[in-house]
Structure 1
Amino acid sequence: MAFTIFITAPKLAPAGLRILEDAGCRVLFMRDGNDAAEVEQILASEPVDAIISRTVTLSAAAIRSCPTLKVISKHGVGVPNIDVAAASERGIPVYVTPGANAQSVAELTLGLMLAAARKVALLDAELRAGRWTRAQDGVQLAGRRLGLVGFGQVGQRVAKVALALGMEVEAFDPGLQGPSPVEGVALHGALDTLLPRADVLSLHIPLNAHTRGLFDAARLALLPRGAILVNTARGEVIDEPALIAALRSGALFAAGLDTMAVEPLPADSALAALPNVVLTPHVGGSTAAALEGMATGAARNVLGFLTGQPPDLCACVNPQVFSDNHQSIR
């Protein structure tokens, strides 16, 4: 049976597309990867069996408009753009591709950490403007303590490199029990015991009801004065006005941010005007290797489910659709 697969983007990495085409699938793409109305129009008019979801919103209305829809896979791991509750109502499983972009996100995390500590963006801009500004207040990371909030595949990769740099590394992850999965990393039982010890804080947590706004003014104030904050998770986990205030006052030395509360970043954002902030436009997973890994993982997720070989439940964000008998596995 030929399946219709809808990619909510104008393209998919060739390796992932090849998997779908070799299986005889009919593959639909968007013209504009940012237009949620186009998503709804396609789902309401086409017999779509599966969606591979990129970054555009996949709303409840869009999901409910397609009676043939059976499975959704995120091209990545974060699902705040997908109305998972609406999918669950229909008994539609939503899968992710854990680990596919972990190395690329970890590498960008380290790049932002180093750039923030050594004022790379500021000094580059000064040189390009014809000024030989030799700042003397860069931060050497060796000997500093790195705090990781979220200690999954990305956090563990970051920890190993930080240890090699000579940093001390400590972490908090409520989902971890038992000994640390990385030798030399101390685990905390509570977030608020980690924060006062973190000269550098790096965030690797999903966005959900518990983490939205988690790093408010009170929590940011727990960090040592002059700490560095790095966020390659989701912008909404930080109270952005509180972060801006901490950066302006010097309570934080610098921040390296790949994600912001509003994306794309508004032209008048205060973050863009701060000299002690390094910004990248949510590109942690935007390497050829990561895009290929996410594309192939998502393609295998949807094809596996449709052909009766469903992915492991650990890759499903709403496994209750099976226990609730909403949807039988084909």
Structure 2
Amino acid sequence: MKPVLAITRRLPADIETRAHESYDVRLNENDNPLTREEILALAQDADAILVSVGDPIDRDFFQALPTKIKIIATFSVGTDHIDLAAAAQKGVIIGNTPGVLTDATADIAWLLILGAARRAGEGEAEIRTASWRGWRPTHMIGTQVTGKKLGIIGMGRIGQAVAKRARGFDMEVHYFNRTRLPADQENGATYHDSINALLPHCQFLSLHCPSTAETRGMVNTTLLQKLPKGAILINTARGDVVNDTDLITALKSGHLAAAGLDVFAGEPNIAPAYRNLPNTFLLPHLGSATAETRTAMGTRALDNIDACMAGADVPFRVTA
């Protein structure tokens, strides 16, 4: 008899095929976001659950979770949607999918940098609405990227990949990280021992930090005012590290020239004002959305579950 696996969102076809080969799968067929109660119902007779970003795997979830479930694998690197302390108290193993979405997310960060700087969203809108009046010397002038200063908050795998791409644009890279990188990994980037020390050097600021109690809402008016006037903010990390009201104010005032955002607090129900700002370049959380990356993520998620079911060490285990 196969173990029962509950999967809260539809996955790439090859990953679902593999899951069906090893497990009696309970699928969320319509792929709509599930509430806590709906996930618990889906997993009522399960041995394992495969969840995704946005699923409410909180303390109340673990309190109601059947003791039969030994592992929850998340189809993500981030675990801010999971109460890790509650999982540990319940004795549930948590697995994630690190190391396979670095390049895809760094590519999206660069799409946002270029799109926000060169007003690509506004330009495409003119084409699609047939409102373009032709080339003219003062039309839709943006910000040059080449040779500028790029600040990075969070110099992990993705931050380093963004910095690597910046060298192709002759950018001067500055960064803040909880710990300084070894010299051979800095590749000429300048380390700052605090975010406040970093900010004055950031004509572009790219966020690559996790969502934690310390980082949620950290991009607020106080932080934004320390950026040079005309700076551009990029976020491919987590939406809730940004205070939406403060960022929108900075964009409206012109203190920031633009923002490129792939993630949002409360997504998909984002702050409505973003949609009406011409100086935003917005994407619907596409950071890891390549066929290769999503398949690799699914592979790691199932590897975690397979190992747990076999009584082996879970390869990508997360601890509180």
Q: Same fold (TM over 0.5)?
A: yes
Displacement after TM superposition at 1:72 (Å):
1.3
Q: Is the 8 A contact 1:76 1:100 kept in 2?
A: no
Check if 1:289 corresponds to 2:292. yes
- Three-state SS of the structure 2 residue aligned to 1:170 is strand
SS at match of 1:181: helix
Which deviates more from structure 2 when the two are superposed, residues 182-191 or residues 66-75?
182-191
Report deviation, 1:276: 0.1
Query: How far 1:308 moved relative to its partner?
Result: 2.5
> Which residue of 2 is the match for residue 74 of structure 1?
74
Give SS of 1:215's match: coil
Q: Give the whole-Å Cα distance in 2 for the aligned partners of 1:304 and 1:3.
A: 13
Q: 1:175: Cα distance to partner?
A: 3.9
Q: Deviations over 1:245-300 (max 9, x none)?
A: 1101110000000111221134x711110000011111211221111011001000
User: Is the 1:40–1:61 Cα contact (8 Å) retained in structure 2?
Assistant: no
Separation in structure 2 between the aligned mates of residue 30 and residue 246 of structure 1, nearest angstrom: 40
- Distance between the aligned counterparts of 2:66 and 2:290, measured in 1? 32
Pair 198,29 (structure 1): closer, same or farther in 2 beyond 3 Å: same
Aligned to 1:111: 111
Is 1:52 matched up with 2:50? Answer: yes
Q: Distance between the aligned counterparts of 1:228 and 1:162, measured in 2? A: 15
Matched-pair contact (CA < 8 Å) for 2:304–2:317: no
Deviation, 1:80, is 2.2
Specify the SS of the correspondent of 1:86. helix
The answer as to 2:127 corresponding to 1:127 is: yes
1:176 Cα deviation from its structure 2 partner:
4.1
Q: Name the Cα RMSD after superposition.
A: 1.8
Give the Å deviation of 1:307.
1.2
Deviation, 1:311, is 3.1
2:319 is matched with 318
Letter in 1 for 2:132: R
Structure 2 distance, partners of 1:235, 1:210, is 14
User: Which is worse superposed, 278-287 or 242-251?
Assistant: 278-287
Q: How does 1:237-316 map to 2 (within 5 A)?
A: 237-266=241-270, 269-312=272-315, 315-316=316-317
Residue 33 of structure 1: aligned partner: 32
Residues in 2 aligned to 1:224 and 1:180: alpha-carbon distance in whole angstroms: 29
Q: Which moved more, 1:182-191 or 1:199-208?
A: 182-191
Q: Is the 8 A contact 2:220 2:246 kept in 1?
A: yes
In the alignment, what sits opposite 1:160? 164
User: Any residues of structure 2 matched to 1:229-244 within 5 Å, and which?
Assistant: 229-244=233-248
Equivalent residue, structure 2, for 1:323: none
The whole-number CA distance in structure 2 between the counterparts of 1:99 and 1:203 is 18
Q: Deviations 1:125-158 (Å, cap 9, x if unpaired)?
A: 1233322265252111111000111111111111
- SS at structure 1 position matched to 2:104: helix
The residue aligned with 1:328 is none
State the Cα deviation string for residues 166-196 of structure 1 (Å, max 9, x = none).
Answer: 1111111104443262412222211111111
Change over 3 Å in CA distance of 1:279–1:180 after alignment to 2: farther
Structure 1 counterpart of 2:149: 145
Specify the alignment match of 2:229 in structure 1: 225
* Residue pair 2:119, 2:140 contacting (<8 A) in 1 also: no
TM-score normalised to the size of structure 1? 0.89
Q: How much has 1:59 moved relative to structure 2?
A: 3.5
Q: Count how many residue pairs are aligned between Structure 1 and Structure 2.
A: 312
Q: Where does structure 2 lack aligned partners over 5 or more consecutive residues?
A: none
SS of 2:183's partner is: coil
Tell me the equivalent position of 1:197: 201
The answer as to whether partners of 2:8 and 2:50 remain within 8 angstroms in 1 is: yes
Residue identity (%): 35
Distance 1:112 1:12 in 2: 26
For 1:264 and 1:214, locate their aligned partners in 2 and report how far apart those are by CA, in whole Å: 21
- In structure 1, what residue type is equivalent to 2:276? A
Per-residue CA deviations over 1:285-326 (Å, capped at 9, x if unaligned) read: 1221111011001000111122132234xx43326xxxxxxx
TM-score (norm 2): 0.91
For the Cα contact (< 8 Å) 1:30–1:38, is it kept in 2?
Answer: no
2:19 aligned partner:
20
Unaligned residue ranges in structure 1 (runs of 5+): 320-330
Is the Cα–Cα contact under 8 Å of residues 200 and 227 in structure 1 kept in the other structure? yes
